[in-house]
Amino acid sequence: MTAFSINSFAIAAALGTFAAPALAQAPATPWELKSDMGYAYDKEGKTYSYKMGTSNAGELLKGAKKVPKGTLFFIGHNGQLYMRTGPYLEGDGKFKFGPDQ
């Protein structure tokens, strides 16, 4: 009975090893950001979305900066939000910083 359990576990682990790369290669999906919404990352590291109006749009744009095309946003191991400009895709279109294979 114990040998059967160990063999079953080994088979399940092997199948999981083969399935993991397939899941990691899922195609990227676009963000669904909307023009009437604001997205925030607060001082405690929490994210929020807000419904925006137009009465004070001028004030909102003061000091705002455009995000350059080709910018990658990510959360580091420390929970901090980061951004990086520059290439993030390989020549074949695969994500340059994907999981190790």
Which pLDDT band, with edges at 50, 70 and 90, does 28 fall under? confident
Classify residue 73: in a domain, yes or no: yes
Mean pLDDT of 40-44: 88
Cα angle 86, 92, 94 (rounded to 5 degrees) comes to 65
Q: Which residues contact 70 (CB under 8 A, 6 or more apart)?
A: 85, 86, 87, 88
Q: What is the pLDDT of residues 50-74, one digit of tens each?
A: 988 878 778 888 989 999 988 999 8
Domains contained in the chain, number: 1
Say if 56 falls within a structural domain. Answer: no
Residue 57: which of 34, 35, 41, 31 has the closest Cα? 35
Q: Is residue 88 included in any domain, yes or no?
A: yes
DSSP codes joined into one string, 12-30:
HHHHHHHHHHHHHTPPP--
Domain extent, residue 87, equals 66-100
Q: Domain for residue 81, yes or no? A: yes
CA distance 72 to 12: 35
Domain-located, residue 11:
no
